[in-house]
Amino acid sequence: MGLSIREIRDRTTRARHLMQRSRQQHFAVGAFNIDNQETLIAVARAAQKLNSPVLVEVSDGEVKAMGVDNIRDMVDNYRLQYGVEMYVNLDHSPTVDDCKRAIDAGFEFIHIDVSQANHDATLDEIIAATKEVVEYAKFTGALVESEPHYFGGSSNLHTEAIDYEEIKKTFSTPESAKSFVDTTGIDTFAAAIGNLHGKYPVPKILDLDLLARIRESIDCQISLHGGSGTELHYFEDAAKIGVSKININSDMRYSFRTTLEKVLADNPDEYAVVKLMPTVYEAVQAVIEEKINAFGSAGKAVL
pLDDT along the chain (303 residues), means of 10: 92 98 98 97 98 97 96 98 98 96 98 89 96 98 94 65 75 96 98 82 86 98 92 96 96 96 97 96 98 98 96
| Range of the structural domain that residue 281 is part of | 5-295
Residue 150's pLDDT is: 75
Residue 300 maps to a domain? no
Does 91 participate in catalysis according to the annotation? Answer: yes
Find, among 93, 11, 85, the residue nearest to 54 by Cα.
85
Q: Which amino acid is at 258?
A: T
Q: What is the CB-side half-sphere exposure of residue 188 using CA atoms within 13 A?
A: 33
Residue 182 maps to a domain? yes
Which one is catalytic: 35, 91, 104, 113? 91
Q: What is the CB-side half-sphere exposure of residue 189 using CA atoms within 13 A?
A: 32
Residue 301 maps to a domain? no
Number of compact structural domains in the chain: 1
Residue 302 maps to a domain? no
Residue 165 maps to a domain? yes
Residue 151 maps to a domain? yes
Residue 243 maps to a domain? yes
CATH number at residue 287: 3.20.20.70
DSSP β-ladder status, 143-146 and 86-93: unpaired
Per-position b or e across 223-237, b if 16+ CB within 10 A of its CB: bbbbbbbbeeebbbe
Residue 303 maps to a domain? no
Q: Which one-letter DSSP state was computed for residue 36? A: S
Q: What angle do CA 143, 293, 161 make, to 5 degrees?
A: 80
Distance CA 27, CA 221 (A): 12
Residue 62's pLDDT is: 96
pTM: 0.94
Residue 194's pLDDT is: 86
Q: Which one-letter DSSP state was computed for residue 116? A: G
Helices within the chain (DSSP H only) = 5-25, 37-50, 60-66, 68-82, 96-105, 123-137, 164-167, 174-184, 208-217, 232-241, 250-266, 277-295
Distance CA 149, CA 180 (A): 10
Distance CA 159, CA 284 (A): 22
